[in-house]
Structure 1
Amino acid sequence: MEFKADERISQVFMTGKHLGITRLPFFFTSFFGNFVIDPAAPERAKLLVEVQTASIASRDAERDKNLGSRDGFDSKRHREWKFTSTGVKQLGDVQVMSGDLDLHGVTKSVDLNLTIGTLVKDPWGGQRLSIELTGTITPTDFGMYAANMAWSGDDLELSMRLEGVLQS
């Protein structure tokens, strides 16, 4: 079953600590997501998410500028980042999707926790399924630094909440 993420509902964001104090999310408002999944056989799931780095939105224009700078996502040179799944495995009660994260010109393998929703009929006669992926990445592994204090610390939480529309 192939699904296309509904961008009007789906969310792609990262969260970092602002000044080491408060968890601050920053969203990416322009992205494409496509996944193939059979809820009865999640180990065969495939996912591709492509995100436009210039679409970053943190509710503060100056912070967005910092996040898009060379120390951050460097949106002028790296116009997108993407996640391409390579497999799904069951670890105890948790499903984990492995994949290649291509960010800031560097590709690294990452593991993200995977939650699969229930297939439902929508009011428009289609079918929808949600998946949620969450995990932690280390920006310095990708040549990214604290983006002028837009985040501090070594880790960013990556979250992708995708509501997919079944493609015919």
Structure 2
Amino acid sequence: MTITIPGYQPGTYVLDPSHSEVGFEVRHMMISKVRGTFAVKEATIVLPENVLEASVTATADVASIDTKDEGRDQHLRSADFFDAEAFPTITFVSTGVREAGADLLVDGNLTIKDVTKPVTFELEVGGFGTDPWGNYKAGATATGTIDREDFGLTWNAALETGGVLVGKDVKITLDLQAARQA
């Protein structure tokens, strides 16, 4: 099957950090969700003629974590969670792109705290276009869910009412915008 994406232009695209971030959400006390972001440090997206041969590498800065609560952010940077001092980055390297019905899926390896596991993200192509300064841009959102404990993020606290403070499943959303290189 041939995939047609309006405006698709092959090339190597490099991250526009001011228009990109990694978001996450996780259950808190099993009754609500906490959301946060990481800054994307760098990303390269290679788009060949056939989108199913595309590849992406991306790196997020662990110290940039922001959940709108500085005390929680400090705890997340600590050895209880991400250990930002010892493991300053989170990386994703794609291993393939495939169709699943009308959807595009990006398979790859996610590394957190030196633990690498295969993950799959559902890809939503935002589009392509030229910005006011003549840069040709690509935008996309990728979403997936991981079990944080698979990556050594096991800290938790039992609640008096039953359950735990932090859920295991973490929804990840990568919002990326990148500029095609000459």
Query: Which TM-score applies when normalising by structure 1?
Result: 0.92
- State how 1:1-168 maps to structure 2 within 5 Å: 1-38=11-48, 41-146=50-155, 152-168=166-182
Cα RMSD (Å): 1.7
The residue identity in structure 1 corresponding to 2:177 is: E
Deviation, structure 1 residue 161? 0.5
1-side partners of 2:114 and 2:137: how far apart? 33
The residue identity in structure 2 corresponding to 1:137 is: I
For residues 56-110 of structure 1, the C-alpha deviation after alignment (integer angstroms, 9 at most, x for no partner) is 1111110101111222111111111100000001011211100010111101111
> Could you say what secondary structure the match of 1:53 adopts?
strand
> Could you say what secondary structure the match of 1:20 adopts?
coil
1-side partners of 2:105 and 2:155: how far apart? 28
Deviation, structure 1 residue 126? 1.2
1-side partners of 2:45 and 2:75: how far apart? 32
> Could you say what secondary structure the match of 2:150 adopts?
helix
2-side partners of 1:64 and 1:131: how far apart? 27
1-side partners of 2:38 and 2:156: how far apart? 16
The residue identity in structure 2 corresponding to 1:98 is: D
Q: Percent identity?
A: 29
List alignment gaps of at least 5 residues for structure 1.
none
The residue identity in structure 2 corresponding to 1:47 is: V
Number of aligned residue pairs: give it. 166
Deviation, structure 1 residue 143? 0.9
In terms of Rg, which structure is larger? 2
For residues 145-168 of structure 1, the C-alpha deviation after alignment (integer angstroms, 9 at most, x for no partner) is 24669x621100111110111111
> Could you say what secondary structure the match of 1:118 adopts?
strand
Change (3 A) 1:53 1:148: farther
Change (3 A) 1:147 1:125: farther
2-side partners of 1:60 and 1:164: how far apart? 29
1-side partners of 2:17 and 2:97: how far apart? 24
> Could you say what secondary structure the match of 2:37 adopts?
strand
